[in-house]
């Protein structure tokens, strides 16, 4: 009806959710397992959050690992030192990463292009360095251990997401679905359209009276919150928070997933994350140089399907 997302046909979402809902049943037949599917959801969420900024606002960050990592440490530290509530840990991690992004965002929204990307890297590396050096609190280079996700207490019953990997997968899927719905609603709203306007033509957007800096800041902050949420879930998945989760190599991987899957397509980053995670899982058992394979595939996709894997599928059935 309206909004560029209207061209996104609902069949894509239906197919994706049908696959995700049934994943624990068919995965074993293709050599997959629950934790792998959970990783896909986690990185898919991180990349979709990132893509609010890159794909739908047209602003590049090379430092989204910072918010992912802060989300992970936030959740891990809460479980380790403060609470046994898994939900509270998730909320805390999300707030830590999201608020850090919002604060940092106020300082950088006037930067554009390469300068913006550079300062985002710098901030990520600062976070990495802190987590790396603060041995007593964060576990330093070895990462933060000594916590584990706790059963979800619903009052009348409690769900064991620790011992039961399938239950945990569905727990993450539920959160993923809610987050995706929230992102979809934001992008279809009048505010979301101002982001598309900024992406399409910043000058035109400015002279329509849109306060560009404020809207980029809002998009950046929202994007950080979703990526931090993914990071918090990642800490739960591994019962571990890793300083490498803050490192710029992960930021680069998030960019790769997003661009490979298709940054103009709402579900593109999820597809990119799935391809990336599955490649990592299969190739890394054969060679330590698995990243060069991913690199080659990435280059091929960018050269031959500049709109990403999902973009290519759409183009084909439109033709």
Among residues 63 and 105, whose Cβ is nearest to another protein? 105
**CB 185, min distance to another protein, A:** 7
Q: What is the DSSP letter of 229?
A: H
Asked if residue 318 binds another protein (CB under 8 A), the reply is no
Nearest in space to 251 (alpha carbons), one of 114, 117, 99? 117
With H, G, I as helix, E, B as strand and everything else as coil, classify residue 211.
Answer: coil
Stretch (H or E) spanning 170:
helix 165-188
Among residues 183 and 256, whose Cβ is nearest to another protein? 183
Distance of alpha carbon 190 from alpha carbon 207, whole angstroms: 17
- Chain residues 215-244 in contact with another protein, contact rule CB under 8 A: 215, 218
**CB 189, min distance to another protein, A:** 5
Sign of CA dihedral 318, 296, 13, 51: negative
Among residues 178 and 208, whose Cβ is nearest to another protein? 208
Query: Which of 146, 211, 295, 306 touches another protein (CB under 8 A)?
Result: 211
Residue entry with tokens 């509270």:
88
Asked if residue 59 binds another protein (CB under 8 A), the reply is no
Tokens of 22: 């049934």
Residue entry with tokens 């830590």:
96
Asked if residue 312 binds another protein (CB under 8 A), the reply is no
Per-residue burial over 170-206, b = 16 or more CB atoms within 10 Å of its CB, e = otherwise = bbbbebbeebbeebbebbbeeebbbbbbbbeebeebe
**CB 68, min distance to another protein, A:** 24
Distance of alpha carbon 26 from alpha carbon 305, whole angstroms: 29
Tokens of 92: 């805390």
Tokens of 114: 């390469």
Asked if residue 206 binds another protein (CB under 8 A), the reply is yes
Among residues 80 and 264, whose Cβ is nearest to another protein? 264
Distance of alpha carbon 138 from alpha carbon 131, whole angstroms: 6
Asked if residue 191 binds another protein (CB under 8 A), the reply is yes
Asked if residue 293 binds another protein (CB under 8 A), the reply is no
The residues facing 152 across adjacent strands are 159
Q: How many residues bind another protein (CB under 8 A)?
A: 25
Query: Which of 30, 163, 209, 316 touches another protein (CB under 8 A)?
Result: 209
Please state, in angstroms and as integers, the Cα–Cα distance from residue 265 to each residue in 7, 42, 80, 86, 123, following that order: 9, 18, 38, 32, 28
Query: Which of 92, 194, 251, 258 touches another protein (CB under 8 A)?
Result: 194
**CB 128, min distance to another protein, A:** 33
Among residues 8 and 34, whose Cβ is nearest to another protein? 8
Asked if residue 193 binds another protein (CB under 8 A), the reply is yes
Asked if residue 29 binds another protein (CB under 8 A), the reply is no
Query: What is the pattern of x (binds another protein, CB under 8 A) and - over residues 146-185?
Result: ---------------------------------------x
**CB 16, min distance to another protein, A:** 23
- Residue ranges in contact with another protein by CB under 8 A: 2-4, 185-186, 189-191, 193-194, 196-197, 200-201, 203-211, 215, 218
């Amino acid at each position: 009806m309206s909004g560029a997302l209207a061209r996104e046909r609902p069949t894509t979402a239906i197919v994706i959710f049908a696959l995700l809902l049934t994943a624990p049943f068919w995965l074993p037949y293709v050599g997959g397992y629950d934790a792998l599917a959970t990783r896909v959801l986690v990185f898919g969420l991180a990349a979709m959050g990132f893509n609010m900024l890159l794909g739908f606002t047209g602003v590049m960050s090379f430092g989204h690992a910072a918010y992912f990592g802060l989300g992970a440490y936030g959740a891990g530290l809460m479980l380790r030192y403060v609470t046994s509530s898994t939900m509270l840990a998730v909320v805390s991690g999300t707030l830590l990463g999201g608020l850090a992004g919002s604060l940092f965002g106020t300082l950088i929204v006037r930067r554009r292009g390469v300068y913006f990307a550079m300062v985002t890297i710098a901030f990520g590396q600062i976070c990495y360095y802190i987590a790396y050096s603060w041995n007593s609190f964060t576990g330093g280079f070895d990462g933060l251990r000594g916590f584990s996700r706790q059963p979800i207490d619903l009052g009348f019953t409690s769900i064991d997401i620790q011992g039961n990997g399938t239950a945990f997968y569905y727990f993450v899927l539920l959160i993923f679905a809610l987050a995706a719905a929230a992102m979809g609603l934001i992008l279809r709203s009048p505010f979301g359209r101002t982001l598309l306007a900024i992406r399409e033509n910043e000058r035109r957007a400015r002279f329509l009276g849109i306060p560009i800096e404020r809207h980029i800041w809002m998009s950046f902050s929202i994007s950080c919150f979703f990526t931090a949420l993914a990071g918090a879930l990642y800490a739960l998945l591994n019962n571990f928070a890793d300083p490498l989760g803050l490192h710029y190599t992960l930021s680069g991987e998030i960019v790769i997933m997003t661009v490979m899957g298709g940054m103009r397509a709402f579900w593109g980053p999820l597809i990119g994350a799935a391809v990336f995670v599955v490649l990592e899982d299969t190739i890394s058992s054969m060679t330590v140089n698995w990243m060069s394979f991913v690199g080659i595939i990435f280059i091929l996709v960018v050269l031959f399907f500049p709109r990403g894997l999902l973009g290519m599928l759409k183009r084909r059935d439109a033709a």
